[in-house]
């Protein structure tokens, strides 16, 4: 099984170097969101946020995916490379600034900006990989990017173990990340433009800014509807599921921050294999069956996690994260492969916007369920069933894209 984690034999050194530089997008974006999840109890205490308002603070940060649509439009118009640099610099500034937030409102606003840059950065990185790698290795490549995101979450977990000893506490976790992001931007300065975009740019006149939307509406409505519904059904429960994990462990299971970090690191290190394993398996057996299997795994494991303790809790956490990573890889890969170069970034961003609105609605729903059921574990256990609605959509509306040529 572990052989599935390593690069396929067909990848040359230039491909591997490109993957490492692009993987930084997922590393940084996931680190940022993992800190929010891990340090949620600390942030709540710092700003005096009421229990029923926690979901709203997270929701505002998630809404940052909305402005990413503008950056995606520019990516389909002026190219991938320049937007990768702009979004990485913006993410560096907003991540560092989060550590200096004075109120809950400022914190949410800065995280809104960070999410906008991180969302655009991740979308463009996936599109770049799909356009640059051979068809038989695209799934593994997208899986590798997501695995880099898992490493970012692992670093956040490791540093969170020191949160009681760092100057400034949770704020230091954001400030420490700002300078390395600038260094990565410097390393990326020589990344070439996507070959598929460069070829289209030489062949065509500059498109109108709204042309990608027109192409999706006229020729790819069914595909757009399918991926939007799948993403919405899954992400409706995901924001609450992930962001309340640390709080659940500390408030209900009496874990100390150091124990939470240890569990995140150990469980995450195993679950991270889900990224590349799912990508490689989907290259061999198809995106749809892999997606359906991982949706079932994630839902079942999440319910077990929030309703058990002891050793089974750790096993369920590993399985839930494994399923989440794998679903994210399948959705990212399929979303890019269903659409042509002229509107690929825009389509992926529209899917992300739908997922973002679903996540915000899910957080609001979690608050209502919390009021009705009296606990976050009970609320999330009911909420996560929404992810199963993605299965009939995948079966009936989604065409298989593994190994298909991109245009």
What's the pLDDT at 1? 45
Three-state DSSP state, 405? coil
On the question of pLDDT at 186 being above 70, the answer is no
Sign of the torsion angle spanned by Cα atoms 375, 378, 383, 384: positive
Q: How many CB atoms lie within 10 A of CB 33?
A: 24
Nearest to 25 by CA among 225, 254, 248, 181: 181
What's the token pair of residue 39? 């340090």
Residue of higher predicted confidence among 347 and 392: 392
Q: Give the confidence band of 6 by pLDDT, cuts at 50, 70, 90.
A: low
What's the pLDDT at 7? 61
Summarised one tens digit per residue, pLDDT across range 377-403 is 999 999 999 999 999 999 999 989 888
How would you write 130-153 as a 3-class SS string? HHHCCHHHHHHHHHHHHHHHHHHH
What's the pLDDT at 302? 95
Q: Give the confidence band of 301 by pLDDT, cuts at 50, 70, 90.
A: very high
What's the pLDDT at 216? 87
User: How far is Cα 293 from Cα 391, in angstroms, rounded to an integer?
Assistant: 9
Mean pLDDT of 339-345: 82
What's the pLDDT at 2? 45
Mean pLDDT of 204-233: 82
DSSP H helical ranges for 191-309: 195-203, 211-219, 221-243, 245-251, 257-271, 273-285, 287-305
CATH architecture under which domain 19-190+209-397 falls: Up-down Bundle (1.20)
User: How far is Cα 276 from Cα 150, in angstroms, rounded to an integer?
Assistant: 11
CA angle 50, 52, 53 (to 5 degrees): 65
Give pTM, 2 decimals.
0.75
Residue of higher predicted confidence among 282 and 136: 282
DSSP states along 366-403: HHHHHHHHSSHHHHHHHHGGGGGGHHHHHHHHPPP-TT
User: How far is Cα 25 from Cα 3, in angstroms, rounded to an integer?
Assistant: 24
On the question of pLDDT at 225 being above 90, the answer is yes
Summarised one tens digit per residue, pLDDT across range 24-35 is 777 877 888 788
Nearest to 294 by CA among 278, 312, 273: 278
On the question of pLDDT at 201 being above 60, the answer is no
28-42, 178-192, 219-233, 380-394: which range is least confident on average?
Answer: 178-192
Q: Give the confidence band of 234 by pLDDT, cuts at 50, 70, 90.
A: very high
Beta-carbon contacts of residue 150 (< 8 Å; ≥ 6 apart): 30, 268, 271, 272, 275, 325
Summarised one tens digit per residue, pLDDT across range 246-276 is 788 888 888 887 788 787 777 777 767 777 7
Residue of higher predicted confidence among 209 and 149: 149
What's the pLDDT at 246? 79
User: How far is Cα 323 from Cα 300, in angstroms, rounded to an integer?
Assistant: 10
- For the chain, what percent of residues have pLDDT higher than 90? 18
What's the pLDDT at 314? 86
What's the pLDDT at 222? 93
What's the pLDDT at 207? 53
Summarised one tens digit per residue, pLDDT across range 117-131 is 888 888 888 888 887
- Scored b (16 or more CB within 10 A) or e, 248-284 reads bbbeeeebebeebbebbbebbeebbbbbbbbbbbbbe
What's the pLDDT at 363? 84
Average per-residue pLDDT in the chain? 82
On the question of pLDDT at 157 being above 60, the answer is yes
């Amino acid at each position: 099984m572990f052989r599935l984690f390593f690069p396929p034999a067909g990848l040359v050194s230039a491909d591997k170097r490109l993957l490492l530089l692009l993987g930084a997008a997922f590393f940084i974006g996931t680190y940022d969101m993992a800190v929010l999840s891990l340090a949620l109890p600390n942030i709540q205490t710092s700003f005096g946020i009421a229990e029923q308002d926690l979901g709203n603070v997270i929701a505002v940060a998630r809404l940052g995916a909305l402005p990413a649509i503008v950056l995606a439009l520019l990516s389909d118009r002026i190219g991938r490379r320049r937007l990768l640099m702009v979004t990485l610099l913006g993410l560096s500034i907003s991540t560092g600034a989060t550590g200096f937030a004075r109120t809950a409102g400022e914190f949410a606003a800065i995280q809104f900006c960070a999410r906008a840059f991180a969302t655009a950065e991740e979308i463009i990185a996936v599109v770049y990989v799909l356009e640059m790698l051979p068809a038989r290795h695209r799934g593994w490549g997208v899986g590798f990017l997501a695995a880099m995101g898992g490493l970012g979450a692992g670093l956040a977990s490791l540093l969170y173990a020191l949160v009681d000893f760092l100057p400034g506490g949770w704020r230091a976790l954001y400030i420490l990340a700002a300078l390395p992001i600038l260094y990565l931007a410097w390393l990326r300065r020589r990344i070439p433009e996507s070959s598929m975009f460069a070829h289209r740019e030489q062949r065509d006149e500059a498109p109108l800014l709204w042309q990608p939307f027109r192409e999706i509406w006229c020729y790819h409505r069914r595909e757009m509807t399918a991926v939007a519904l799948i993403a919405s059904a899954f992400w409706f429960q995901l924001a609450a599921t992930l962001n309340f994990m640390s709080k659940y462990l500390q408030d209900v299971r009496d874990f100390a921050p150091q124990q939470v970090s240890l569990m995140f690191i150990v469980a995450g290190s195993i679950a991270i294999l889900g990224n590349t394993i799912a990508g490689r398996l989907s290259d061999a057996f198809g995106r749809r069956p892999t997606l359906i299997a991982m949706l079932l795994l994630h839902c079942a494991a999440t319910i077990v996690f929030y309703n058990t303790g002891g050793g089974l809790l750790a096993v369920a956490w590993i399985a839930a994260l494994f399923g989440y990573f794998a679903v994210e890889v399948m959705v990212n890969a399929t979303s890019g492969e269903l659409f042509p170069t002229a509107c690929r970034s825009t389509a992926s961003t529209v899917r992300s916007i739908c997922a973002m609105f679903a996540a915000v609605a899910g957080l609001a729903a979690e608050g209502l369920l919390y009021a009705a059921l009296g606990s976050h574990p009970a609320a999330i256990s009911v909420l996560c069933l929404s992810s199963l609605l993605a299965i009939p959509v995948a079966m009936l509306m989604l065409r298989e894209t593994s190994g298909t040529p991109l245009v």
